[in-house]
Each structure stands twice: as structure tokens, then as C-alpha cells.
Structure 1
Amino acid sequence: MANEVKSLGDSDAIPGGGYRQGPLTRTEVGQPIGSYYGFVTDGIFQTQEEVDEHAFQSGNTAPGDIRFVDLNGDGVIDENDRTFLGNPFPDFTYGLSGRMSFRGVDMSFLFQGVQGVELFQAYQYYTLGSGVFNLEKEALNRWTGPGTSDEVPRLTVDDPNQNTRISDRFIRDGSYLRLKNLTIGYTVPDSFFDAIGASSSVRQARIFVGGQNLLTLTGYDGLDPEIGERNGVLDRGIDRGVFPQARTYTVGIDFQF
């Protein structure tokens, strides 16, 4: 567990993390702060018989909709069936930096990564939620009939089953390893300046190239796994389509006179 809330004073729980379907996170004693709180999914209804035999979800639930788990066993899927789904804090963070040089050539680097972090893809409310927005290519694998899909529900305009409700459907592993910085340089030897007669004015020159965010190794299928916080710690790890960190390159010459 990344952290544990010990006391909230007079409060039982604190909601957070704004989402179209209501608060997305819940802070409660005994759980990590800002934990995701929602429903557990169990595949897709394939037939009307499966819908009829399951706990009541909606009067318009149909084959192709997501099957949500009736955690308290009362035969109705409601707010009492929400539970903790994970948290946005990694099991650990790590990094590796170094600098080396040989015969005038130098190199410095910084690797940074996190492991075991969970992210909530809130932007999929729009990109996989209904047929009125531009959709992700994953929508091509949607349910269109018995046996066609057990992961991506049918597309509807009004979402009568609330397939977009807060659930483990949108949680992904956000672990990554990123090459944050890399610089390679070459220090011009004094003999070069002696040869061109500039040794009296130029003491040293170094030519270098560098880059930031050059490489990211991750299984996360969003734009960028390095999300962080938006509106405080209760809103951490929620991916609303955050613009990815830019990859930048630098070329320069450093003179010393």
C-alpha cells in the first residue's frame, strides 16, 4: 500500500476527482488517500437471458451492455455496490543518472520511472462512451452480437445502462521508464585553437547535442503515463486527455573566453 489514511476527524469519507458521473475518488480511513471508488465489471451481457438472470441494473439494460458485479448481493446494482478499485500512488519510484567522459567526449543522462501506479482514463467517457463523439479505434471491437466482444460494450447515444459509470473498466497500469535527459558533448582540444591562432582569446569550446523525453517504455495506452495532479491530491492520476510531455532537442556550442 502506497499510503494509509489514519484519521479524518469527524468525517467518514471525503469524495474527490470530478467526473461526469460524479466523484471518482474516495478518501477513507484505512485506504490510500484519493483512491478510485466505483463499480466492478464482469464482462458483457451476450443474451437477454443473461440480462434477466442478473441483478437489476436498468430498465433498458440489453445484450451488449456491461455486466456490473452485485457486491452486496441484494439483487440491485446501485451505489452500495461501489468499492475501492486502486489508487494513483506507485509501489515505488526510481531513477538512474550518470556522467562519463573519454578523450574530450562526455555524456550525461537521467532515467526516471514509476512502478505499480494505476491511472483512470476519464477521457474514455467521450472516446468510448457513445456514438456522438469521435471514437477511438478500440470502438471497432465493440459488441455487435453474441460472442463478438466481452470487453467493449455496444455503442448507444444515451447510454441507458450507464456503461460509462465509474468502474474498473477505465483503470490501467501506468508504470513507465523514461529517458528524461540525454546530453552528448565534445570539448575541442587546445591544439585546435593554437593551430588557428585563437588560443589567446578562446580558452575552451564545447559542442553538444541533447534531448528531453527521448524514450518512454510503458504498457499504458493513453497519451502519456506521467500525469500527476490537477486539482490537488484527491484528483491525482486521472487522465482527462493530458497533452503529452514534449520531446525536445538542443544543439549548441559553449565558448569560454
Structure 2
Amino acid sequence: MSIRATARIHAVRTEGGATALPVLESAGPLALRRTRASGAGAKVTVVGAMSAPLGGDRLAIEAEVGAGARLAVDSAAATIALPGRDGERAHYDVRLTVGDDSELRWLPEQLISAYGSDLRMRTRIDLAPTARLVYREEQILGRYGEMPGTLSTRLTVHRDGRPLLDQELGYGPGAPGGWDGGAVLGGHRAVGQLLIVDPAFEEKEPEVRILSGTAVLTPLAGPAVLVTALAPDALLLRRLLDAVLRDEAG
């Protein structure tokens, strides 16, 4: 039996300058737990309460960060896309809204596309003009020694109502031909992106940089940079992205 569930987070700034969580609503396999944060911000960890997403599931998580609030979201473990009994596609939607002078650090663990699975993941982010964002996504194509399932992802970001980034990727059976070729993944099985949006970049725009043989930092048409990286495994991918995170976002 497939699952339909939407988890919700709402962070607001209190009169004392701290961040409160008036809404922390778990749903289905998405269990939300407030965990220890540094400073005046709040931190939420997503804990998988059951195996998901399975074929046919429709899961979503929504987070809204009010003006002046600070929120960090991570996860306790990787998310594994698994096949269902009837071969249906699973859907996982992420919707993030970040208000003026607020900050969201969205740093979950990897998404693993297991053999036989079919997952369509969509992320929509809406940013106020003075919002700050650190957003990481990592996809691991297959568990150890196996081919990946079918994975389709789309990341859409708007800032002040205007498009900042709209990117769609596809891997595995059914994806456009050549996804595993030398012009795309070149045989790598770990792929990730790190998006940093900061109004401070308007004063000093970062330059294009080749970070390694398989990673590049690219300024966007706005106060933002996008890092795209490939690696043979999840550990090396994380090391690449963490190095940039330390340098560019503190």
C-alpha cells in the first residue's frame, strides 16, 4: 500500500532574537525532531520512521523560515529509494520558503537510488531578496555493486520572484541516452550540488573555479554560486562539497 504524507516546519524569530518552531509536524515516514543548534538558530533532523520512498509513495516536506529566523535542517541517515510491488513511480517533493534577513541551511544525507526503483524528486525554493541559503543535494546511483534505479530530479529556485536556477537531471533506465557516458557522469556513481545564495555576493562575486578534476564552482546570475561535483563514491563526494562549504559559507 502506497503512502501519502507531508511533513511541515515553520521557523519564526522571537522577540528575544532566538528562533522558535511553532510548527513541527511529522507525517508518515518523515519524523521531525528538534536537535541541538548553535547560536540563536534552530535545528531540525529528519528521521526515517520506515523504509521510504517505495514505488507509489507520494511524500513531501515543506519548510518556511520567517523573517529574521535561522534554521538548519539535516537528516539522521541516507534516504533510499526502493522499488514497490507494482512498479509504480514514487514522488518526493520539497518546498522551501525563506523570508527577508533569514537563513536556511538544508543539508540532508544522500539520496540512494536502489536498483529497480523509480523516483521523481522535485525541489522548489522561494527566497526573499535578503534571504541566505545553503542547499546541498547528493545522489548515489545504486548501492554497492548494483546498478541504479530510475531517478529524475528537478531543482527550481526563485529569488524575489525571479528565476535564479532551474535544473533537471535524469539517471538510470529510461533516462535520456548518454547519462553514464563521458560527457555526463563518465562512470561515476556519486553526483552532488551545493547551492549558496548570499546577498554579500553582490559586493564581491566569486569567480569560476575548477575545484578538482570532477568539481566546478560557477557564479549564477544573482548573488549565488553553484558547485557541481562527481565522485566514485559517497565519501569522496561529501569531502569535495564540505571543503567548499567551509570556504564559501562558513
- The bucket for the TM-score relative to the shorter chain is under 0.3
TM-score computed with the length of structure 1 as normaliser? 0.22
Bigger helix share: 1
Q: Whose radius of gyration is greater, 1 or 2?
A: 1
- Larger % of strand: which? 2
Give the TM-score normalised by structure 2. 0.23
- Relative contact order, CA 8 A, sep 6+: which one is greater? 1
